[in-house]
Each structure stands twice: as structure tokens, then as C-alpha cells.
Amino acid sequence: MLKAGVQQQLRRIPVPVALAIGILFGFIFARILPWTTSTTPIWRSGHIPSKVRQQSRQPIQLPTVDQRARVLELLTTLSPHYTKECTRNSQPLYVQQALERYSPLVGHNPPASNSWLASLLGGGSAELDHAQAVRRDLQASEHKYFFAINLYNSFDVIPDLFATLFRVAAILGYHNVFVSIYENGSSDQTKALLRIFDALTKSVGMRVMIRTSMRTRGAFNHRIEYLAEVRNAAFVPLHELRDSEGEYFDTIIFMNDILPCVDDLLELIWQSRRNNAGITCAADYMYHEEIGSPVFYDNWVARDINGTALENAPFERIFHHVPSSQRWQRHLPIQVQSCWNGIAVLDPAPFYSPPHVRFRMARITEGECSASECSLICNDYWEAGYGRIMMVPRVKLAYDSKVFDIIHPTRRNLTAIRGYKRLGGLPDDPRTDPQDRTWFGPHDRLFTEEESEPLGFIPGPSHVWCWGWDGAGDLEGPDVDPIWEKMPNKSTRPDAVQVRHDRSMAL
């Protein structure tokens, strides 16, 4: 299968390390700042730095920086259908906030003699000699990110997904990123498209492993058992890289077939590291025909900190827990008992060390409620002492272009309309723009100070609403009467939300 070939290729493909800053601003804010690479790129082998291997490796013909940059530019500017516009034409103050906010995530050090801003604007010194460059590279941030992605009949979202991945990886540092994709038995052209992106991805030096399977649910008795198996399959390289290379990751980003913008992913990662959270998720939306608008979607998994399910409802009625609802309506991060919502950022620690969590079905013989594999992993994180689980309402996700367009309206210049001078934000306070008071407002809503404050995590609820799905019949959804399920005592103690694994950034 794909696997052997992929691993061989990984060894041969070096990684551009120093392109990141130029690419970051070149692509995210293409219309605002000039695209430049003013630093000397350094190539090195794909996996963890291994002196032995590097010395014994034969020199190989590498694509030039220009060649790589051309592929990258093509991929990130031509391929997105839907997400192309979400970071373009952002209001200048938002751009400035985002640059400052996400600069701790940039995956390598700036040139020694210049500020990164100066180098980004073209004033940087390109004259670093090789030794200096290598030293700089070694000092670079080594926070490693593992992207796990499950795809199934995802032809339509793959171009956007990859374009976003390229750009995010450029910021985090290509050498810090590994992408694992597991595709199970798609009947559309997903496999063909994946092959194209696989090749292109490698040509820009990003590590990607794509595995496909024709295995179907038939072989499993329980549907959650099958779904858990599909998710675990995307994690296989995580364990393989540890066993074969001694490579450990610091953050896992788990994605479904969804349409995120670059800054959506950055914000989830930022919040996850800021709060040393066990699990951090976004909010996903689906169109509700009766209501005639998108509503919060993944209420099979999402539970507030009282253990109550969230609702498929307009935003004012999603949370029953009052303090959570208040924070939600102000777009502030919220502690929850459980959530998944299309993208989840995970602390890998409980995967690597005991109790070795994994996706699983309920232990039905022990009387456990047949919840989603994603709810169960949240419960397992609580029990393992990683119960810092949070939701980031700013990050709104869609599964199709119809919803995407509604939740990412472009900002209109209201000042120009009918001479309403007070609209469009006051000159000295852009936050007064009425568009930012609507729930589905422009993507470049300014950050408030409260969005940067760390969350105060409290112990988990004693009971959680569980709506089981045994899948015995043909019902395409939960088929067991819901219950309040008792949680293990461990997750109700303060110990369950202590920081055990510090993944914070230097702010």
C-alpha cells in the first residue's frame, strides 16, 4: 500500500525551514503586505534532526527555493474555493492584532540582527552565513504539531483543506508539522485528489502520510466501534514515529472534512496552548431548514460544564448553563465537559503515557452508556486528569459552502451608506461596528482583552447527559433513551483540571 513508499520518500524530502515568515505574510495578508523571503533557507532531513543520518546521506538534487515558492503559491492561492477570502481584506487593526497574537506560534527564530517585522518588510539581512543559519535553525521553536484528518467522500473540501494546511504549516514551521490522513472507502474522486495533493505536498517539503482503506462498517458489530477504529487509524503514525524515530509531538489537531480558515486553526492552537487545555474545540454549524439559518451542530458530543447537552438552536439558546451562555454570547472561550465540533486540538500526553487513551466504544458490559467515541475520549481525558476541555466560539466552522458564506459575511463599509456617520465603527473605536454585534459577523472581528485571559477551570460534573447509540436498528442517530450518567469520582475532583503538561507559549 501507500505506506512503505510514503515513508521512503519522507526520508528523502528535506524541509524548508526559514521560508515561514515570508510565506505567513505573503499568503495570509497578501494584499496588505508584500511577499518576501529575505532569509536564507536551510534544508534538512524530514524527520527529527539525526546527525548520523544526515552525515551518511548522499547529496541529492533539491528544488530551488523559487521552485518551491512557486508550487506553494499556486497551491495556496488557486486551490481554495471557499476559504480563499476569509483572511483577505481584513480590517487593518485585526491584521495587527493577529500578527501580534500569533507571533509566538511562528516556528522558527527570526534572523539574529533584525526584528522579524523588519525582515518581513524586506529590510532583513539575507547575508547570514551557513553556520549562523544552522545555529539559528537549531534554536528555533520545536513545538511539534500532528495533524490527524479523517476523510470520506471529501472531494469538495480537500483543496481548501490543503491550502489551509500549507499556510498554517508555513507559520508553525514545516519541520514542526506532520499530517496524517486516513481515508476510508470513499466512492467519489477523493482518492485521486488525495494522490495529487500528496505529491504536491511533498514537493514543498511538508511531511504527509495518506492511508486509504476500503474497509467498511460491515466487519464491525457496533457502529461506534467502527467510527473509533477510523479515528484511531489516523493516529497510527503518531505511535509509529515515536517507536521508530523517537519523535514526540506536543499538540495534536484532529480535523474532520471541514472548512477552516488559517486564523481559525491558529486561534484554536493559541487557545489550547494558552490554557494548557486537554481538548480545545471550535463551534460547528449546519443549516437548519425550519429555522432558516445555520444552527450549532454537534450536540451529540457537546456538553456544558454542568453535563447538560448543547442545543441545535440559535445562539442565544445553545447553552443551558447560564454563565456559559453569557460567555458564549460574548464570543469568549468556555470550559465544557465535552466537545468535538469538527476540529479538536488535543494534548497528546494521555496518548503517549498511561492510561494511553484512544478512541473507543462504550464498555457496554460494564454498563457504560453508548456515547460517541468523541464523548468517551473527553470522559477519558477527565479521568486521566486532563479535564481542561474548552470551546472557542470565535472559531465558527462549516461543512459546506452555503453555511460557510453565511457565517463568514464580508465586512461592509457602513460609513458610506446613507451618510450614517456613526455606523461602521466610530473613528476612535472600531468595536462599535454594528456588524460585530450580529452572531454571524465578519471574520475579522477584533479581539477583546478577555479573549486572551486564561480560563479558570473547575472540576467536572457528577452526571452527564448521555444519549446512546447502539446502532442495532437502522436509525441514523442515537437510538437509546437518554440518561444522566454518573461520572467517575476522579473527574469531579480539583485534581482533574490541574496543569500536568505545560505546552504554553512564551507570550
Ligand X SMILES: *[C@@H]1O[C@H](CO)[C@@H](O)[C@H](O)[C@H]1NC(C)=O
Q: Cell triple for residue 472?
A: 442495532
Longest CA–CA span in the chain (Å) reads 71
When the beta carbons of 402 and 412 are compared against ligand X, the nearer one is 412
Footprint of ligand X on this chain (CB under 6 A)? 150, 152, 184-185, 216-217, 227, 230, 306-308, 320-321, 413, 415-416, 461, 463, 484, 489
When the beta carbons of 263 and 383 are compared against ligand X, the nearer one is 383
DSSP element (H, E) containing 271: helix 262-274
When the beta carbons of 199 and 416 are compared against ligand X, the nearer one is 416
CB of 151 to ligand X, least distance (A): 8
When the beta carbons of 310 and 362 are compared against ligand X, the nearer one is 310
By the 8 A CB rule, do 151 and 116 touch?
no
Spatial separation of the C-alpha atoms in residues 384 and 278, rounded to whole Å: 10
Spatial separation of the C-alpha atoms in residues 158 and 4, rounded to whole Å: 23
When the beta carbons of 12 and 486 are compared against ligand X, the nearer one is 486
CB of 230 to ligand X, least distance (A): 5
CB of 372 to ligand X, least distance (A): 11
Q: Cell triple for residue 75?
A: 497551491
When the beta carbons of 237 and 307 are compared against ligand X, the nearer one is 307
When the beta carbons of 107 and 387 are compared against ligand X, the nearer one is 387
CB of 136 to ligand X, least distance (A): 38
By the 8 A CB rule, do 389 and 378 touch?
yes
Going by their DSSP bridges, the two strands 177-184 and 207-213 should be labelled as parallel
**Cα dihedral across residues 130, 133, 139, 144: positive or negative:** negative
When the beta carbons of 137 and 229 are compared against ligand X, the nearer one is 229
CB of 402 to ligand X, least distance (A): 20
By the 8 A CB rule, do 484 and 371 touch?
no
When the beta carbons of 137 and 284 are compared against ligand X, the nearer one is 284
CB of 349 to ligand X, least distance (A): 24
The count of other CB atoms within 10 Å of the CB of residue 486 is 12
CB of 458 to ligand X, least distance (A): 14
Non-local (6+) Cβ contacts of 110 within 8 A are 21, 116, 119
Spatial separation of the C-alpha atoms in residues 413 and 96, rounded to whole Å: 19
Non-local (6+) Cβ contacts of 476 within 8 A are none
CB of 468 to ligand X, least distance (A): 17
By the 8 A CB rule, do 278 and 345 touch?
no
CB of 4 to ligand X, least distance (A): 24
Spatial separation of the C-alpha atoms in residues 408 and 331, rounded to whole Å: 15
CB of 417 to ligand X, least distance (A): 9
CA 236 to chain centre: 18
CA-based end-to-end distance of the chain: 44
Label residue 227 left, alpha or beta by phi (over 0 means left) and psi (-120 to 50 means alpha): alpha
When the beta carbons of 269 and 423 are compared against ligand X, the nearer one is 423
Name the one residue in this structure whose C-alpha cell is 539525526: 50
Spatial separation of the C-alpha atoms in residues 505 and 179, rounded to whole Å: 22
Non-local (6+) Cβ contacts of 254 within 8 A are 148, 149, 231, 234, 343, 344, 345, 346
When the beta carbons of 173 and 461 are compared against ligand X, the nearer one is 461
CB of 223 to ligand X, least distance (A): 9
CB of 115 to ligand X, least distance (A): 28
When the beta carbons of 83 and 90 are compared against ligand X, the nearer one is 90
By the 8 A CB rule, do 458 and 335 touch?
yes
CA atoms within 13 A on the CB side of 134: 6
Comparing every residue's Cβ against ligand X, the nearest one is 185
Non-local (6+) Cβ contacts of 219 within 8 A are 226
**Nearest to 347, CA basis, from 319, 387, 315, 376:** 387
